[in-house]
Amino acid sequence: MYRILQRSVHTITEKSPNNIKSISQDLYKEQNLKTLVEKFKKASDIDRFRKKNGIYEDTVRRLAGAKRFRWVRDIIEHQKSYADISNEGFSARLITLYGKSNMHRHAQKLFDEMPQRNCERSVLSLNALLAAYLHSKQYDVVERLFKKLPVQLSVKPDLVSYNTYIKALLEKGSFDSAVSVLEEMEKDGVESDLITFNTLLDGLYSKGRFEDGEKLWEKLGEKNVVPNIRTYNARLLGLAVAKRAGEAVEFYEEMEKKGVKPDLFSFNALIKGFANEGNLDEAKKWFGEIEKSEHDPSKRTYAIIVPFLCEKGDLKTAIEMVKQIFLTRCRVDVSLLRIVVGKLVSESMVSEAKEIVERGKNNSYCRYKLNFPADE
């Protein structure tokens, strides 16, 4: 009997890579979420499966997206039945999954339970917990834990810890404190990196702290940090927010001369800049530049330009863009379509408004809850 049981366990733990692949594909395809949970828990018996971070993230994302948080808890708590739970890396992964599901209390509980399972708590699990609270938008808690836990656990925060802390400070609007962390990092012997600067620059420029962003931009050279497209986009957005669209174009041209290839975020920033300044022709021109590039307009692109077109009374172009939205199956917010419909009705373009309502309600990829104003 013992040999049979031993052989059975051996079979479970030594599934071939092909079997793991087929199990993963089956889970990806499973549409019934309750069945998905049952299959996932069964597959978790396989050692190799528990090392597949991607399928864990995808499954939890699907369940959390459907607001099935009880089932998220079910599959994560189920993992505690395996010896892996005493491995810090495995526990840190589970903490991260709770965080991405906005279940920070469960993440904290799992972190607190680690010593009971003889599981080490180093900077790895500290970072997972900080990230969990960051994902859950508990920025004050991130700040408190960053200051308390390293001392309590006798661990030294690393670059990831500091970058998470900076992000939390920026999100809560503590801009000066976020910038001052750079000095704190230097004192602790932690070298800032491109992620540090990109996080700070994006936080400052996007919130209208242009002068602070410029001071930090100068430090890039001092620190020998080579900017990437995200760095350039942060400054482009800063110029747009500051209503300095002309300078943004010059900066865009400078990017190209340096061999930095613009992306969709670059174009969106320029469109936003000219929209902020009320320059319809230039905003439309830069939208046209997207069509000449390898990129397609995104939900964000349309959210910038379509309301601006309506504001300026260019309803013909607005209608064309809505048609393009449906044609390319771009999932925009229903509020965007309502703006167009409302503006059309106010301008007595009733048939055009009704056409958008019908297409919004009856298209095959996303049924928008869109009503004709007279029906509301």
Question: What is the pLDDT at residue 367?
Answer: 84
Backbone CA torsion sign across 270, 271, 274, 275: negative
Distance set, CA 19 to CA 14, 30, 243 (Å): 10, 16, 57
For residue 3, pLDDT beyond 50 = no
Question: What is the pLDDT at residue 1?
Answer: 39
**Percent share of the chain, pLDDT over 70:** 94
Could you report the per-residue pLDDT of 258-274, keeping only the tens digit for each?
999 999 999 999 999 99
Contact 127, 160 (CB under 8 A): yes
Give the separation between CA 58 and CA 74, rounded to whole angstroms: 15
Question: What is the pLDDT at residue 364?
Answer: 81
Residues ≥6 apart with Cβ < 8 Å to 4:
none
250 — pLDDT class (breaks 50, 70, 90): very high
Could you report the per-residue pLDDT of 315-357, keeping only the tens digit for each?
999 999 999 999 999 999 999 999 999 999 999 999 999 999 9
For residue 375, pLDDT beyond 60 = no
Average pLDDT over residues 249-266: 96
CA count, 13 A, side-chain hemisphere, 7:
4
Contact 125, 114 (CB under 8 A): yes
For residue 205, pLDDT beyond 60 = yes
Could you report the per-residue pLDDT of 84-96, keeping only the tens digit for each?
999 999 999 999 9
Average pLDDT over residues 3-29: 62
Question: What is the pLDDT at residue 18?
Answer: 55
Concatenated DSSP letters for 177-216? HHHHHHHHHHHTT----HHHHHHHHHHHHHTT-HHHHHHH
310 — pLDDT class (breaks 50, 70, 90): very high
CA count, 13 A, side-chain hemisphere, 154:
1
55 — pLDDT class (breaks 50, 70, 90): very high
DSSP 3-state of 246: helix
Average pLDDT over residues 285-298: 95
Task: Report residue 257 CA to chain centroid gap.
Answer: 30
Contact 302, 321 (CB under 8 A): yes
Average pLDDT over residues 170-176: 97
8 — pLDDT class (breaks 50, 70, 90): very low
Q: Where are the domains of the chain?
A: 156-225, 228-295, 301-376
